[in-house]
A = this chain, B = another copy of it.
């Protein structure tokens, strides 16, 4: 990733884009397996269309980038670059839906969006970002609510089992809801600096958008009804979170399932060594044939330089192959999830067992990275019993601070004022009778934290 020549934007270089391609593949397969199809809707939204859902426009208008000139002339109406696509997609759904037979509509879009934020931060908050946005319409509130939970589950699955980032899934508070939503759910991860990162959201809109944009259908009982809609999104921010969670002082550590390169082969020889080179190429072929994402590094730099580079890039496994290894019919396998010289970091594996051993090792690294992150999250999730401790832990950025909470906006605002921390999400029921922050009756169990 590099800073771009336009403020607040980044360039995703091939290695970073390779991570995105892996995340896209994993999400896309799950969307399709749950009955969704992809489609594409325009980048630009006429202002008159954007303003129809009151809360939605109030939430997004301050962040809109406006196109006012095109083809050398001023435009009669300003066009917003989509900050999200509810507006356009709901307008189209209104045309596509007449009968309950047209429902559910289960569509996802892979797209870029622009949100004109004052403060940006590479990968975590950029003016333009790549994401997917799912938009669905249903014939009943129950079905819509199930969809929202299903996709929240997909996000938690991908975060934990692909990116190896443990998360808390729950509902956002009223003040943190998506503009126009009845309920917003999120997955929240914890970064090593003690800040929380929202990594995916799923929204229930009830019939709000259907009313604003006219999505009506004749139900099985012949009555005319407004559809129930949802949306859900995950962006490349998930990759930023993954890098922060797993990185160490030698650079990135990429979980195998996300790694564009799962294993790199570094041949070790002084001068020309046809034998070592040939063996390295043969091994590469064999591993590629067995379905591994493998790279053979034949560049002219020294082995040490290459080790360093691939460690920095977080490639899960490095295979070193030299004349001595070759003579012994073996390779040296180095795993990136263990520290330098830590026990088990390097092992010797018989050349012919490499594919089998590699598969097992990659699975183990996937689990080990998740376990490390999970241990961190658990040790930095702290139940506060009194207001003083609660405020102190939040100020110290101690992690996810859990309390029985009243769900009152005024309480949340007071905590934010005192600590700059916010609610991340809540689960029901509360595990105590009164709110630790303000003493009112508790309604839910909440995670508070500083956040990005």
Contact = CB atoms under 8 A, between A and B. Distances in A.
A4 B88 contact: yes
Nearest to A12: B40
A271 interface: no
Given A62-B72, A63-B71, A95 B2 contact: yes
Contacts of A55: none
Given A65-B69, A116-B71, A9 B44 contact: yes
Given A38-B21, A65-B69, A67-B65, A128 B14 contact: no
A291 interface: no
Nearest to A88: B5
A71 B62 contact: yes
A80 to B, nearest CB: 10
Contacts of A9: 42-44
Contacts of A62: 71-72
Nearest to A43: B128
A95 B5 CA distance: 11
Question: How many copies altogether?
Answer: 2
A13 interface: yes
A112 to B, nearest CB: 6
A78 B49 CA distance: 24
B69 A66 contact: yes
A139 interface: no
A157 interface: no
B42 A128 contact: yes
Nearest to A68: B68
A242 interface: no
A117 interface: yes
Contacts of A81: 43, 67, 81
Interface of A: 2, 4-6, 9-14, 16-18, 20-21, 37-46, 49, 61-72, 78-79, 81, 88, 91-92, 95, 107, 111-112, 114, 116-118, 127-128, 130
Given A17-B39, A18-B38, A81-B81, 7 more contacts: A2-B92, A6-B42, A6-B46, A9-B43, A12-B39, A43-B81, A43-B112
